[in-house]
């Protein structure tokens, strides 16, 4: 779960740094850079079809989304959860947590309840719902996918998790954003474009 939250949090919440002077060395198991462009395009299209194949709108109507998640629009325990997070508590008997900081200020946190592990709720520091991750039925077994929605019901993005180390990332409209391999993201041309520091 912690890896899952880190992948999503890093992807959608901006804790990403631009890659500089990308260099690949031997021993890399990831074959994205060695594939032909045709093979890369086929892989991108394959996972895109899984995530967006029905061509229907991926968005909720705001009213529908708010009704579905009415019980979690506000974290009623946000004061307690804030204290737990500030004290570096990552798990309780009923939930797992992940905190997101900017300049030592807790600006967002995520909760994944053990009784409903296929949803992850992201809250502002004051306990207001910001995002919801909806995870496919086969989670936590690979492969699985996740779609993240803003609190207004609009799709924020989607990720296909091939394995712990490999994820294909798509924009809300279905456009390919990149493929993560461990701490590096590559674009469709196999150029490294992002890195993440807490892989």
> For residue 34, what are the contacts with CB-CB under 8 A and spacing of at least 6?
none
- pLDDT of 13 reads 45
pLDDT digits over 20-70, tens only?
444 433 333 578 989 999 999 999 999 999 999 866 668 999 999 999 999
- pLDDT of 5 reads 56
| 75-92: average pLDDT | 93
- pLDDT of 8 reads 53
Nearest to 165 by CA among 44, 60, 29: 29
Q: Strand order of the sheet with strand 155-161?
A: 17-18, 192-195, 184-186, 176-181, 166-170, 155-161, 144-150, 129-135, 119-124, 105-113, 95-102
SS3 177: strand
Q: How far apart (Å, rounded) are the C-alpha atoms in residues 30 and 198?
A: 19
pTM over 0.75: yes
Q: Find out whether 190 and 178 touch, Cβ atoms under 8 Å.
A: no
- pLDDT of 25 reads 39
Query: Above pLDDT 90, what percent of the chain?
Result: 71
pLDDT digits over 170-198, tens only?
999 899 999 999 989 999 999 999 997 66
Q: How far apart (Å, rounded) are the C-alpha atoms in residues 40 and 44?
A: 6
pLDDT digits over 110-161, tens only?
999 999 999 999 999 999 999 999 999 999 999 999 999 999 999 999 999 9
Residue 165 has pLDDT above 60, yes or no: yes
SS3 109: strand
Query: Above pLDDT 70, what percent of the chain?
Result: 82
Categorize the per-residue pLDDT at 101 as very low, low, confident or very high, splitting at 50, 70 and 90: confident
Q: Locate 49 and state its tokens.
A: 């079809």
Expressed as residue numbers, the domain containing 152 is: 2-23+32-195
Q: Which residues of 115-124 are buried (b: 16+ CB within 10 A; e: fewer)?
A: eeebebbbbe
* Domain tally, the chain: 1
Q: How far apart (Å, rounded) are the C-alpha atoms in residues 15 and 40?
A: 26
Residue 97 has pLDDT above 50, yes or no: yes
Place of tokens 């967006």: 52
């Amino acid at each position: 779960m912690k890896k899952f939250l880190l992948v999503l949090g890093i992807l959608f919440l901006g804790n990403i740094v631009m890659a500089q002077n990308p260099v690949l060395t031997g021993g890399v198991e990831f074959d994205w850079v060695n594939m032909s462009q045709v093979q890369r395009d086929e892989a991108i299209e394959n996972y895109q079809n899984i995530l967006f194949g029905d061509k229907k709108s991926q968005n909720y109507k705001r009213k529908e989304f708010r009704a579905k998640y009415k019980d979690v629009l506000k974290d009623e325990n946000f004061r307690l959860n804030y204290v737990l997070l500030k004290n570096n508590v990552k798990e309780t008997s009923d939930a797992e947590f992940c905190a997101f900081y900017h300049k030592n200020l807790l600006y967002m946190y995520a909760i994944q309840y053990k009784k409903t592990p296929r949803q992850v709720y992201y809250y502002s520091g004051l306990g207001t719902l910001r995002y919801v991750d909806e995870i496919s039925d086969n989670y936590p077994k690979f492969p699985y996918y996740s779609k993240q929605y803003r609190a207004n019901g609009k799709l924020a993005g989607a990720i296909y998790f091939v394995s712990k180390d490999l994820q294909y990332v798509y924009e809300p409209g279905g456009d390919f954003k990149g493929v993560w391999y461990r701490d590096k993201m590559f674009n469709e041309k196999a150029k490294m474009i992002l890195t993440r520091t807490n892989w």
